[in-house]
A and B are shown apart, each in its own frame.
Chain A
Amino acid sequence: MLVLSGSALAGVLPEDRVDVLYHLYQGDGIEIDGPSILVRKQAGKNISMVGNYYVDMVSSASIDVITTASPYSEERKQWSLGMDYLRGNTTMSVSYTSSAESDFDATTYSFSVSQDMFGDLTTLTLSYALGDDIVGNSNDPTFESENDRQHYGIGVTQILTRNMVASLNFETITDEGFLNNPYRLVRFLDSGSTSGYSYEQELYPHTRTSNALGMRVKYYLPYRAALEGEYRYFTDTWDIESHTASIAYVHPLGPWTFSAKYRYHDQTSAHFYRDLFAGSEATNFRGRDKELSSLTSHTSMLGVSYEFISAANAWGFIKKGTVNASMHQLNINYHDFSDLRSAATIGNEPLYHLDADVIQLFFSFWY
Protein backbone atom coordinates (compact mmCIF):
# COMPACT_ATOMS: atom_id res chain seq x y z
CA MET A 1 0.00 0.00 0.00
CA LEU A 2 1.38 3.37 -0.94
CA VAL A 3 1.25 7.00 -0.13
CA LEU A 4 2.32 9.11 -3.05
CA SER A 5 4.35 12.10 -2.05
CA GLY A 6 5.38 14.72 -4.62
CA SER A 7 3.81 15.34 -8.02
CA ALA A 8 4.81 14.45 -11.57
CA LEU A 9 5.85 18.08 -12.23
CA ALA A 10 7.95 19.74 -9.55
CA GLY A 11 7.51 23.48 -9.02
CA VAL A 12 3.86 22.97 -8.02
CA LEU A 13 2.59 21.35 -4.84
CA PRO A 14 -0.14 18.70 -5.16
CA GLU A 15 -3.69 20.03 -4.83
CA ASP A 16 -5.51 19.96 -1.51
CA ARG A 17 -7.97 17.08 -1.54
CA VAL A 18 -9.86 14.49 0.46
CA ASP A 19 -10.55 10.99 -0.88
CA VAL A 20 -12.83 8.51 0.82
CA LEU A 21 -12.63 5.10 -0.83
CA TYR A 22 -14.24 1.71 -0.27
CA HIS A 23 -12.36 -1.24 -1.78
CA LEU A 24 -13.45 -4.82 -2.27
CA TYR A 25 -11.47 -7.80 -3.56
CA GLN A 26 -13.37 -11.04 -4.18
CA GLY A 27 -11.86 -14.15 -5.67
CA ASP A 28 -9.92 -17.31 -4.95
CA GLY A 29 -12.14 -17.92 -1.92
CA ILE A 30 -10.90 -14.65 -0.40
CA GLU A 31 -12.86 -11.53 0.41
CA ILE A 32 -10.93 -8.42 1.44
CA ASP A 33 -12.63 -5.08 1.88
CA GLY A 34 -12.24 -1.87 3.78
CA PRO A 35 -11.77 1.88 3.59
CA SER A 36 -8.94 4.09 2.43
CA ILE A 37 -9.07 7.74 3.44
CA LEU A 38 -6.61 10.34 2.24
CA VAL A 39 -6.41 13.97 3.33
CA ARG A 40 -3.99 16.45 1.77
CA LYS A 41 -3.67 20.07 2.87
CA GLN A 42 -1.24 22.83 2.11
CA ALA A 43 0.33 24.54 5.12
CA GLY A 44 1.71 27.90 4.05
CA LYS A 45 3.11 28.50 0.56
CA ASN A 46 5.76 25.80 0.51
CA ILE A 47 4.49 22.81 2.45
CA SER A 48 1.82 20.20 1.71
CA MET A 49 0.87 17.63 4.34
CA VAL A 50 -0.78 14.30 3.55
CA GLY A 51 -2.25 11.55 5.68
CA ASN A 52 -3.75 8.20 4.74
CA TYR A 53 -5.62 5.59 6.73
CA TYR A 54 -6.20 2.19 5.15
CA VAL A 55 -7.78 -1.03 6.35
CA ASP A 56 -7.91 -4.57 4.88
CA MET A 57 -10.56 -6.79 6.47
CA VAL A 58 -9.66 -10.28 5.29
CA SER A 59 -11.81 -13.36 5.17
CA SER A 60 -9.80 -16.12 3.59
CA ALA A 61 -10.58 -19.60 2.37
CA SER A 62 -8.10 -19.51 -0.51
CA ILE A 63 -6.74 -22.61 -2.24
CA ASP A 64 -3.62 -22.47 0.00
CA VAL A 65 -5.77 -22.19 3.10
CA ILE A 66 -8.26 -24.92 2.08
CA THR A 67 -5.57 -27.47 1.20
CA THR A 68 -3.19 -26.96 4.11
CA ALA A 69 -4.97 -24.96 6.86
CA SER A 70 -8.40 -23.69 7.85
CA PRO A 71 -10.38 -20.54 6.89
CA TYR A 72 -9.53 -17.44 8.88
CA SER A 73 -10.38 -13.77 9.36
CA GLU A 74 -7.82 -11.03 9.78
CA GLU A 75 -7.61 -7.27 9.85
CA ARG A 76 -4.68 -5.11 8.73
CA LYS A 77 -4.59 -1.40 9.52
CA GLN A 78 -2.16 1.02 7.93
CA TRP A 79 -1.63 4.69 8.39
CA SER A 80 0.81 7.09 6.71
CA LEU A 81 1.92 10.67 7.18
CA GLY A 82 3.85 12.63 4.60
CA MET A 83 5.09 16.09 3.82
CA ASP A 84 6.15 17.81 0.60
CA TYR A 85 8.36 20.89 0.73
CA LEU A 86 8.62 23.07 -2.36
CA ARG A 87 11.50 25.45 -2.92
CA GLY A 88 11.76 26.97 -6.39
CA ASN A 89 11.78 24.05 -8.79
CA THR A 90 12.68 21.46 -6.18
CA THR A 91 10.23 19.37 -4.18
CA MET A 92 11.44 17.31 -1.23
CA SER A 93 9.10 14.69 0.19
CA VAL A 94 9.23 12.54 3.29
CA SER A 95 6.74 9.99 4.56
CA TYR A 96 6.26 7.49 7.35
CA THR A 97 4.01 4.43 6.98
CA SER A 98 3.08 1.94 9.64
CA SER A 99 0.87 -1.14 9.27
CA ALA A 100 -0.17 -3.77 11.76
CA GLU A 101 -1.97 -7.10 11.66
CA SER A 102 -2.00 -9.93 14.15
CA ASP A 103 1.15 -11.59 12.75
CA PHE A 104 2.92 -8.89 10.70
CA ASP A 105 4.07 -5.33 11.45
CA ALA A 106 5.60 -3.13 8.77
CA THR A 107 7.22 0.29 9.06
CA THR A 108 8.46 2.30 6.07
CA TYR A 109 10.35 5.58 5.91
CA SER A 110 10.68 7.21 2.52
CA PHE A 111 12.33 10.27 1.06
CA SER A 112 12.35 11.71 -2.44
CA VAL A 113 13.57 14.77 -4.30
CA SER A 114 12.06 16.07 -7.55
CA GLN A 115 13.72 18.66 -9.73
CA ASP A 116 12.16 20.58 -12.62
CA MET A 117 14.37 21.44 -15.56
CA PHE A 118 14.37 22.43 -19.24
CA GLY A 119 11.72 25.05 -18.68
CA ASP A 120 9.51 22.61 -16.72
CA LEU A 121 9.48 20.10 -19.56
CA THR A 122 11.45 17.57 -17.54
CA THR A 123 11.16 16.40 -13.96
CA LEU A 124 13.80 14.16 -12.43
CA THR A 125 12.92 12.29 -9.22
CA LEU A 126 15.26 10.37 -6.93
CA SER A 127 13.69 8.31 -4.16
CA TYR A 128 14.77 6.10 -1.29
CA ALA A 129 12.72 4.07 1.16
CA LEU A 130 13.68 1.95 4.15
CA GLY A 131 11.35 -0.74 5.46
CA ASP A 132 11.45 -2.68 8.67
CA ASP A 133 9.03 -5.62 8.97
CA ILE A 134 8.41 -7.99 11.86
CA VAL A 135 6.96 -11.40 10.94
CA GLY A 136 5.03 -13.41 13.52
CA ASN A 137 3.18 -16.73 13.56
CA SER A 138 -0.30 -17.03 15.06
CA ASN A 139 0.36 -20.71 15.79
CA ASP A 140 3.59 -19.99 17.67
CA PRO A 141 3.67 -16.95 19.98
CA THR A 142 7.45 -17.32 20.43
CA PHE A 143 8.12 -16.93 16.69
CA GLU A 144 9.39 -13.50 15.63
CA SER A 145 11.63 -12.66 12.71
CA GLU A 146 12.63 -9.50 10.88
CA ASN A 147 12.78 -8.27 7.30
CA ASP A 148 14.65 -5.22 6.13
CA ARG A 149 13.70 -3.62 2.84
CA GLN A 150 15.34 -0.83 0.85
CA HIS A 151 13.92 0.82 -2.26
CA TYR A 152 16.01 2.96 -4.62
CA GLY A 153 14.23 4.76 -7.42
CA ILE A 154 15.02 7.15 -10.23
CA GLY A 155 12.35 8.56 -12.49
CA VAL A 156 12.04 11.04 -15.32
CA THR A 157 8.82 12.65 -16.49
CA GLN A 158 9.11 14.37 -19.86
CA ILE A 159 6.75 16.52 -21.88
CA LEU A 160 7.37 15.30 -25.42
CA THR A 161 4.91 17.43 -27.43
CA ARG A 162 2.02 19.73 -26.63
CA ASN A 163 -0.17 16.59 -26.56
CA MET A 164 2.13 13.92 -25.15
CA VAL A 165 3.81 13.25 -21.82
CA ALA A 166 5.96 10.26 -20.88
CA SER A 167 7.65 8.87 -17.82
CA LEU A 168 10.43 6.39 -17.20
CA ASN A 169 10.98 4.81 -13.77
CA PHE A 170 13.70 2.50 -12.57
CA GLU A 171 13.41 0.93 -9.13
CA THR A 172 15.68 -1.46 -7.24
CA ILE A 173 14.31 -3.19 -4.15
CA THR A 174 16.41 -5.28 -1.78
CA ASP A 175 15.00 -7.48 0.98
CA GLU A 176 16.83 -9.31 3.70
CA GLY A 177 15.42 -11.54 6.42
CA PHE A 178 12.48 -13.93 6.73
CA LEU A 179 10.95 -13.56 3.28
CA ASN A 180 8.45 -16.42 3.12
CA ASN A 181 5.09 -17.06 4.66
CA PRO A 182 5.36 -18.93 8.00
CA TYR A 183 2.13 -20.83 7.26
CA ARG A 184 2.64 -21.91 3.66
CA LEU A 185 3.80 -25.46 2.94
CA VAL A 186 5.43 -27.19 -0.01
CA ARG A 187 4.47 -30.70 -1.13
CA PHE A 188 6.84 -33.51 -1.95
CA LEU A 189 6.52 -37.03 -3.33
CA ASP A 190 5.91 -39.49 -0.49
CA SER A 191 5.04 -43.09 -1.39
CA GLY A 192 4.10 -43.69 2.23
CA SER A 193 1.19 -41.22 2.01
CA THR A 194 -2.23 -42.31 0.63
CA SER A 195 -2.34 -39.24 -1.63
CA GLY A 196 1.21 -39.90 -2.86
CA TYR A 197 2.57 -36.66 -1.38
CA SER A 198 3.18 -34.98 1.99
CA TYR A 199 3.80 -31.41 3.17
CA GLU A 200 6.68 -29.59 4.86
CA GLN A 201 7.63 -25.97 5.62
CA GLU A 202 8.76 -23.54 2.92
CA LEU A 203 12.40 -22.40 3.03
CA TYR A 204 13.28 -19.24 1.11
CA PRO A 205 16.61 -17.47 0.50
CA HIS A 206 17.27 -14.74 3.07
CA THR A 207 17.86 -12.07 0.44
CA ARG A 208 16.13 -10.84 -2.67
CA THR A 209 17.11 -8.01 -5.02
CA SER A 210 14.81 -6.92 -7.82
CA ASN A 211 15.05 -4.39 -10.64
CA ALA A 212 12.11 -2.95 -12.49
CA LEU A 213 12.08 -0.54 -15.42
CA GLY A 214 8.72 0.98 -16.29
CA MET A 215 7.69 3.42 -18.97
CA ARG A 216 4.42 5.20 -19.53
CA VAL A 217 3.18 7.44 -22.35
CA LYS A 218 -0.02 9.48 -22.32
CA TYR A 219 -1.44 11.11 -25.44
CA TYR A 220 -4.13 13.78 -25.73
CA LEU A 221 -6.59 13.07 -28.52
CA PRO A 222 -7.90 16.13 -30.45
CA TYR A 223 -11.59 15.56 -29.54
CA ARG A 224 -10.67 15.65 -25.83
CA ALA A 225 -9.83 12.16 -24.65
CA ALA A 226 -6.64 10.46 -23.50
CA LEU A 227 -4.84 7.29 -24.51
CA GLU A 228 -2.22 5.73 -22.25
CA GLY A 229 0.28 2.93 -22.79
CA GLU A 230 2.49 1.37 -20.18
CA TYR A 231 5.21 -1.28 -20.09
CA ARG A 232 7.29 -2.63 -17.24
CA TYR A 233 10.18 -5.13 -17.30
CA PHE A 234 11.05 -6.89 -14.05
CA THR A 235 13.82 -9.24 -13.01
CA ASP A 236 15.21 -10.39 -9.67
CA THR A 237 17.76 -12.64 -7.97
CA TRP A 238 15.12 -15.33 -7.51
CA ASP A 239 15.14 -15.70 -11.33
CA ILE A 240 11.65 -14.28 -11.76
CA GLU A 241 11.40 -12.35 -15.01
CA SER A 242 8.23 -10.59 -16.09
CA HIS A 243 6.72 -8.36 -18.73
CA THR A 244 3.73 -6.17 -17.93
CA ALA A 245 1.92 -4.06 -20.50
CA SER A 246 -1.29 -2.10 -20.44
CA ILE A 247 -3.37 0.23 -22.55
CA ALA A 248 -5.99 2.62 -21.21
CA TYR A 249 -8.52 5.06 -22.66
CA VAL A 250 -10.18 8.00 -20.87
CA HIS A 251 -13.21 9.74 -22.36
CA PRO A 252 -14.90 12.75 -20.70
CA LEU A 253 -18.49 13.61 -21.59
CA GLY A 254 -19.77 16.72 -19.79
CA PRO A 255 -19.59 16.01 -16.04
CA TRP A 256 -18.99 12.28 -16.72
CA THR A 257 -15.64 10.61 -17.37
CA PHE A 258 -15.46 7.04 -18.63
CA SER A 259 -12.31 4.95 -18.59
CA ALA A 260 -11.27 1.50 -19.74
CA LYS A 261 -8.03 -0.41 -19.36
CA TYR A 262 -6.54 -3.75 -20.33
CA ARG A 263 -3.45 -5.08 -18.59
CA TYR A 264 -1.33 -8.11 -19.45
CA HIS A 265 1.29 -9.66 -17.19
CA ASP A 266 3.48 -12.69 -17.79
CA GLN A 267 6.16 -14.04 -15.45
CA THR A 268 8.55 -16.95 -15.05
CA SER A 269 8.86 -18.79 -11.75
CA ALA A 270 11.36 -18.39 -8.92
CA HIS A 271 14.25 -20.87 -9.18
CA PHE A 272 13.24 -22.57 -5.89
CA TYR A 273 9.58 -22.93 -6.83
CA ARG A 274 8.11 -26.38 -7.54
CA ASP A 275 4.55 -27.57 -7.65
CA LEU A 276 5.81 -30.97 -6.42
CA PHE A 277 9.27 -31.65 -4.98
CA ALA A 278 11.00 -34.97 -5.59
CA GLY A 279 11.39 -35.66 -1.88
CA SER A 280 11.55 -34.11 1.58
CA GLU A 281 14.19 -31.32 1.74
CA ALA A 282 15.16 -32.22 -1.84
CA THR A 283 16.58 -28.74 -2.52
CA ASN A 284 18.39 -26.06 -0.52
CA PHE A 285 15.43 -23.70 -0.92
CA ARG A 286 11.82 -24.60 -1.58
CA GLY A 287 8.58 -22.77 -2.12
CA ARG A 288 5.11 -23.41 -3.51
CA ASP A 289 3.69 -19.88 -3.44
CA LYS A 290 1.58 -19.59 -6.61
CA GLU A 291 2.46 -15.89 -6.82
CA LEU A 292 6.07 -16.97 -7.48
CA SER A 293 5.13 -19.58 -10.11
CA SER A 294 5.04 -19.06 -13.87
CA LEU A 295 1.76 -17.38 -14.68
CA THR A 296 -0.06 -15.11 -17.10
CA SER A 297 -2.64 -12.60 -15.92
CA HIS A 298 -5.19 -10.57 -17.82
CA THR A 299 -6.99 -7.65 -16.22
CA SER A 300 -9.84 -5.59 -17.67
CA MET A 301 -11.08 -2.40 -16.05
CA LEU A 302 -14.09 -0.17 -16.54
CA GLY A 303 -14.48 3.05 -14.59
CA VAL A 304 -16.88 5.96 -14.38
CA SER A 305 -16.65 9.31 -12.63
CA TYR A 306 -19.28 12.02 -12.14
CA GLU A 307 -18.36 15.57 -11.20
CA PHE A 308 -21.20 16.79 -9.00
CA ILE A 309 -19.38 19.83 -7.60
CA SER A 310 -17.56 22.12 -10.02
CA ALA A 311 -16.37 25.72 -10.20
CA ALA A 312 -19.82 26.70 -11.50
CA ASN A 313 -21.65 25.26 -8.46
CA ALA A 314 -19.08 25.17 -5.65
CA TRP A 315 -20.16 24.00 -2.16
CA GLY A 316 -18.70 26.68 0.10
CA PHE A 317 -14.95 26.01 0.30
CA ILE A 318 -15.22 22.77 -1.75
CA LYS A 319 -14.43 23.74 -5.35
CA LYS A 320 -14.69 20.31 -6.96
CA GLY A 321 -16.21 16.99 -6.04
CA THR A 322 -16.48 13.68 -7.87
CA VAL A 323 -18.06 10.30 -7.20
CA ASN A 324 -16.20 7.40 -8.78
CA ALA A 325 -16.65 3.70 -9.36
CA SER A 326 -14.43 1.14 -11.02
CA MET A 327 -14.40 -2.60 -11.53
CA HIS A 328 -11.30 -4.64 -12.37
CA GLN A 329 -11.68 -8.24 -13.47
CA LEU A 330 -8.48 -10.19 -12.85
CA ASN A 331 -7.88 -13.60 -14.46
CA ILE A 332 -4.74 -15.56 -13.73
CA ASN A 333 -3.65 -18.75 -15.51
CA TYR A 334 -1.04 -20.67 -13.54
CA HIS A 335 1.26 -22.78 -15.71
CA ASP A 336 2.76 -24.85 -12.90
CA PHE A 337 0.46 -24.78 -9.87
CA SER A 338 -1.99 -27.64 -9.43
CA ASP A 339 -5.47 -27.38 -8.02
CA LEU A 340 -5.23 -29.88 -5.15
CA ARG A 341 -8.91 -29.48 -4.26
CA SER A 342 -9.71 -31.84 -7.13
CA ALA A 343 -9.98 -35.58 -6.54
CA ALA A 344 -7.44 -36.34 -9.29
CA THR A 345 -4.53 -38.66 -8.61
CA ILE A 346 -1.05 -37.23 -8.17
CA GLY A 347 0.34 -35.86 -11.41
CA ASN A 348 -3.14 -35.63 -12.98
CA GLU A 349 -4.42 -32.60 -11.05
CA PRO A 350 -5.71 -29.75 -13.22
CA LEU A 351 -3.78 -26.47 -13.24
CA TYR A 352 -5.25 -23.76 -11.04
CA HIS A 353 -7.01 -20.73 -12.47
CA LEU A 354 -7.98 -17.61 -10.51
CA ASP A 355 -10.79 -15.15 -11.22
CA ALA A 356 -11.16 -12.12 -9.00
CA ASP A 357 -13.20 -8.93 -9.00
CA VAL A 358 -11.78 -5.72 -7.60
CA ILE A 359 -14.35 -3.01 -6.94
CA GLN A 360 -13.73 0.56 -5.83
CA LEU A 361 -16.24 3.24 -4.88
CA PHE A 362 -14.95 6.62 -3.81
CA PHE A 363 -15.66 10.30 -3.34
CA SER A 364 -12.99 12.92 -4.03
CA PHE A 365 -13.19 16.54 -2.93
CA TRP A 366 -10.86 19.39 -3.80
CA TYR A 367 -10.86 22.49 -1.60
Chain B
Amino acid sequence: MTTRHCCRLLLPLLLFAGLAGCSGIEPWVKPYERGNLADPIMALDVDPVSSAYVQHVFEGREGARGGEGASGGGCGCN
Protein backbone atom coordinates (compact mmCIF):
# COMPACT_ATOMS: atom_id res chain seq x y z
CA MET B 1 0.00 0.00 0.00
CA THR B 2 1.53 3.31 -1.05
CA THR B 3 1.55 6.47 1.05
CA ARG B 4 -1.09 7.89 -1.34
CA HIS B 5 -3.36 4.94 -0.69
CA CYS B 6 -2.99 5.39 3.05
CA CYS B 7 -3.88 9.08 2.64
CA ARG B 8 -7.05 8.03 0.78
CA LEU B 9 -8.02 6.06 3.83
CA LEU B 10 -7.23 9.07 5.98
CA LEU B 11 -9.65 11.34 4.11
CA PRO B 12 -12.84 9.53 5.16
CA LEU B 13 -11.50 9.58 8.70
CA LEU B 14 -11.02 13.35 8.58
CA LEU B 15 -14.42 13.79 6.98
CA PHE B 16 -15.92 11.75 9.77
CA ALA B 17 -14.18 13.98 12.26
CA GLY B 18 -15.52 17.01 10.41
CA LEU B 19 -19.04 15.69 10.83
CA ALA B 20 -18.53 16.15 14.53
CA GLY B 21 -19.41 19.77 13.92
CA CYS B 22 -22.89 18.69 12.78
CA SER B 23 -25.24 18.49 15.73
CA GLY B 24 -27.97 16.61 13.81
CA ILE B 25 -26.86 13.05 14.77
CA GLU B 26 -28.31 11.85 18.08
CA PRO B 27 -26.23 9.47 20.22
CA TRP B 28 -27.72 6.05 19.61
CA VAL B 29 -26.40 4.57 22.87
CA LYS B 30 -27.78 6.63 25.76
CA PRO B 31 -25.66 7.21 28.89
CA TYR B 32 -27.88 4.87 30.93
CA GLU B 33 -27.26 2.08 28.37
CA ARG B 34 -23.47 2.09 28.79
CA GLY B 35 -23.23 -0.07 31.91
CA ASN B 36 -21.60 -2.99 30.05
CA LEU B 37 -19.12 -0.70 28.31
CA ALA B 38 -18.13 0.76 31.69
CA ASP B 39 -17.23 -2.71 33.00
CA PRO B 40 -13.45 -2.81 33.68
CA ILE B 41 -13.10 -5.89 31.42
CA MET B 42 -14.26 -3.73 28.47
CA ALA B 43 -11.46 -1.16 28.75
CA LEU B 44 -9.46 -1.05 25.52
CA ASP B 45 -6.26 -0.96 27.60
CA VAL B 46 -6.80 -2.52 31.02
CA ASP B 47 -3.16 -2.44 32.19
CA PRO B 48 -1.15 0.25 30.36
CA VAL B 49 2.18 -0.71 31.96
CA SER B 50 1.79 -4.33 30.94
CA SER B 51 0.62 -3.65 27.37
CA ALA B 52 3.33 -1.05 26.85
CA TYR B 53 5.98 -3.62 27.82
CA VAL B 54 4.56 -6.29 25.49
CA GLN B 55 4.43 -3.77 22.62
CA HIS B 56 8.09 -2.96 23.34
CA VAL B 57 8.96 -6.69 23.03
CA PHE B 58 7.21 -7.02 19.66
CA GLU B 59 8.80 -3.83 18.27
CA GLY B 60 12.20 -5.23 19.23
CA ARG B 61 11.61 -8.63 17.59
CA GLU B 62 9.71 -7.58 14.45
CA GLY B 63 10.11 -4.99 11.72
CA ALA B 64 6.70 -3.33 12.16
CA ARG B 65 5.85 -0.50 14.52
CA GLY B 66 3.02 1.85 15.43
CA GLY B 67 -0.70 1.87 14.71
CA GLU B 68 -1.62 0.70 18.19
CA GLY B 69 -2.72 3.98 19.70
CA ALA B 70 0.07 5.10 22.01
CA SER B 71 3.08 7.39 21.74
CA GLY B 72 6.45 5.73 21.57
CA GLY B 73 9.91 6.08 23.02
CA GLY B 74 13.24 4.94 21.65
CA CYS B 75 15.79 2.30 22.55
CA GLY B 76 18.87 0.71 21.02
CA CYS B 77 17.01 -2.56 20.69
CA ASN B 78 17.91 -3.28 17.06
Spell out A's residues near B (CB within 8 Å): 1-5, 8, 19, 21, 23, 25, 36, 38, 52, 54, 56, 76, 78, 80, 95, 97, 99, 101, 103-104, 106-108, 110, 112, 115, 117-122, 124-125, 127, 129, 131, 133, 135, 147, 149, 151, 153-157, 159, 161-163, 165, 167-173, 180-181, 184, 209-214, 216, 218, 220, 224-226, 232-236, 238, 240-242, 244, 250, 252, 257, 265, 267, 269-270, 289, 291-292, 295, 297, 299, 324, 326, 328, 330, 332, 354, 356, 358, 360, 362, 364
Query: Which of B31, B56, B63 lies at the interface centre, i.e. has the most chain A CB atoms within 10 A of its CB?
Result: B63
- Binary flags per residue of B35-67, CB closer than 8 Å to A gives 1, else 0: 011010111110111101111111011111111
Spell out B's residues near A (CB within 8 Å): 1, 3, 6, 9-10, 13-14, 16-17, 20, 25-29, 31, 33-34, 36-37, 39, 41-45, 47-50, 52-58, 60-76, 78
In the assembled complex, the CB of A366 is this many whole angstroms from the nearest CB of chain B, namely 10
Nearest A residue to B69, CB-CB: A169
In the bound complex, do residue B47 and residue A324 qualify as a contact, i.e. CB atoms below 8 Å apart?
yes
A76/B75 contact (C-beta < 8 A), A154-B13, A265-B64 known? yes
A168/B58 contact (C-beta < 8 A), A106-B75, A121-B28 known? no
Complex Cα distance, B48 from A24, in Å, reads 17
In the assembled complex, the CB of A45 is this many whole angstroms from the nearest CB of chain B, namely 20
In the bound complex, do residue B10 and residue A2 qualify as a contact, i.e. CB atoms below 8 Å apart?
no
Instruction: Collect the chain A residues with CB atoms within 8 Å of residue B10's CB.
Output: 154, 170
In the bound complex, do residue B61 and residue A291 qualify as a contact, i.e. CB atoms below 8 Å apart?
yes
Q: Which applies to chain B's interface (DSSP): helix, strand, loop or mixed?
A: loop
In the bound complex, do residue B56 and residue A2 qualify as a contact, i.e. CB atoms below 8 Å apart?
yes
Q: Which 9 A-B pairs have the closest CB atoms?
A: A212-B67, A104-B76, A119-B27, A106-B74, A214-B67, A171-B66, A234-B64, A110-B71, A2-B52
Instruction: Collect the chain B residues with CB atoms within 8 Å of residue A167's CB.
Output: 44, 69
In the assembled complex, the CB of A282 is this many whole angstroms from the nearest CB of chain B, namely 22
In the bound complex, do residue A112 and residue B71 qualify as a contact, i.e. CB atoms below 8 Å apart?
yes
In the bound complex, do residue A129 and residue B76 qualify as a contact, i.e. CB atoms below 8 Å apart?
no
Instruction: Collect the chain B residues with CB atoms within 8 Å of residue A234's CB.
Output: 64-67
In the bound complex, do residue B74 and residue A149 qualify as a contact, i.e. CB atoms below 8 Å apart?
yes
In the assembled complex, the CB of A180 is this many whole angstroms from the nearest CB of chain B, namely 7
New A-B pairs, 9, CB < 8 Å, besides A36-B52, A154-B13, A159-B29: A2-B55, A3-B73, A4-B48, A21-B53, A25-B57, A97-B73, A218-B44, A232-B67, A299-B58
Q: Contacting B45 at CB < 8 Å: which of A4, A95, A233, A289? A: A4
In the bound complex, do residue B67 and residue A156 qualify as a contact, i.e. CB atoms below 8 Å apart?
no
Complex Cα distance, B36 from A51, in Å, reads 30
In the bound complex, do residue B34 and residue A159 qualify as a contact, i.e. CB atoms below 8 Å apart?
yes
